[in-house]
Structure 1
């Protein structure tokens, strides 16, 4: 299993890193478009679609992303898209997590398919726009999610007592959530200092938020984004529990599926763009 995980990770890095550091945006947009299409197929399958219907929905998602690429939205998407994503994730996420797997299963399949595909499309659009903003900016958003996850894991292991959502993800605790938020704030302080001392191609999310909202606003937004990364993770866990499966698919040997790797990123990227564009 470990060998599989390492090989898969190396292959993914070999594909993603050249696209990420390319001098133009479209290679990264195209690579992530393929990945988000695969995530769309996984989403449809998790929500009861047949194999053929799921392939069709994954292809439809790719076409929608391609349309945005053709329209030039990968570098200048309407700001309203980020606020629509914020509403979907905050209100829809709160409803779904409160109701649990039973409430999710009670929704019609077409509605579940539509909600997921729209969320994935907005996440891809936000990824492309974040790359257009600069490598330093997009890496700062990626690292926010990773820092929240890593700090939450170790904080939960060390201090976890109160379960966060036992019916959805029994391993998560409130102490892990607070630890994740603390990890994000520490990362932000370090990154802002590096922005000042290093030659970077763009401002990081943290520097932009501090310039636009002040230190107190920066803290509030980062706590919110760290919380939403947990919501993204829990939402995928909820859907998988509703479907009775452990992984979203077996597309990434040793890692599960694409959704298993990007779940926490899905709400954070569009919401980060919304907060930094205010």
Structure 2
């Protein structure tokens, strides 16, 4: 299993790293478009769509991204995604409704098109701001995840959401938050690789509000992770798919990014339009 995980990770790095670092913004956008389409396919499957429906939904998500490129300003798209994650996300985690049934199902099919389009535009806007900027944005989620894993292993005692994801603990979440705080403060203080998300936040909001904003992003990375866990638990599956051997599916890799990306773009006031 470990060998499979490592091989898949190396293949993904071999594809994504050169495109992110060196390719034109159009090539980067095309690659992220493929990611969005596969994530949408998994989203439909988790909502218990059968037959050809997940494929049609993936196509619809791709078309929604293409259509949204005609927007002169993507801020309303980011705002719509943010509203979903601020209101619907926490509500679902607290009340735990059956997401693939009743009114929730059509709502999530429609919402998904907005969420995936916002994700695409946020990454493209971040990449347009610079390689260091988009990597610093992704690093928020990666650090929160890595910090949570090791802190949870070492100190985890109190379950964060036992009915949704039994492995997550409050201690792990705190460790992930601390990792983000330390790295972002150090990067901003040392002016490393600027412009980055951290330098933008510290320059425009000051240290205290910048760290508060980063705290919000870390919190919503957890919301995104738990929301997908709820979808998977209700669908009766461990992974969103088997597209990435050893790693599960595409949604398993970007679940925490879905809320963080549009929220971060709103906070720093950047648009892909």
TM-score scaled by length of structure 2: 0.93
Find the partner of 2:76 among 80, 88, 96.
80
Conserved 8 A contact 1:48-1:109: no
Runs of 4 or more above 3 Å deviation: 101-108
1:184 matched to 2:176: no
State the shift of 1:114 in Å.
Answer: 1.5
State how 1:232-247 maps to structure 2 within 5 Å.
Answer: 232-247=224-239
- Equivalenced residues, count: 270
State the shift of 1:82 in Å.
Answer: 2.0
CA distance in 2 between counterparts of 1:23 and 1:35 reads 16
Alignment RMSD: 1.8
Matched residue SS, 2:157:
coil
Matched residue SS, 2:230:
helix
Which residue number in structure 2 is paired with residue 213 of structure 1? Answer: 205
Find the partner of 1:128 among 121, 124, 140.
124
Which residue number in structure 2 is paired with residue 150 of structure 1? Answer: 146
State the shift of 1:149 in Å.
Answer: 0.8
Q: Residue deviations 1:183-203, cap 9 Å, x none? A: 110010222134x2x5x4x51
Conserved 8 A contact 2:74-2:121: no
CA distance in 2 between counterparts of 1:109 and 1:38 reads 19
Which residue number in structure 1 is paired with residue 90 of structure 2? Answer: 94
Find the partner of 2:196 among 193, 204, 221.
204
Which residue number in structure 1 is paired with residue 135 of structure 2? Answer: 139
Q: 1:229 to 1:162 in 2, by over 3 A?
A: same
Matched residue SS, 2:167:
strand
Conserved 8 A contact 1:2-1:254: yes
State the shift of 1:108 in Å.
Answer: 4.2
Q: 1:167 to 1:107 in 2, by over 3 A?
A: farther
Which residue number in structure 2 is paired with residue 265 of structure 1? Answer: 257
State the shift of 1:253 in Å.
Answer: 1.1
State the shift of 1:105 in Å.
Answer: 4.2
1:254 matched to 2:246: yes
Conserved 8 A contact 1:102-1:242: yes
Structure 2: unaligned runs, 5 residues or longer: none
Larger helix proportion of the pair: 1
Q: 1:242 to 1:105 in 2, by over 3 A?
A: farther
CA distance in 1 between counterparts of 2:3 and 2:97 reads 33
CA distance in 2 between counterparts of 1:117 and 1:158 reads 39
Structure 1: unaligned runs, 5 residues or longer: none
Which residue number in structure 2 is paired with residue 174 of structure 1? Answer: 170
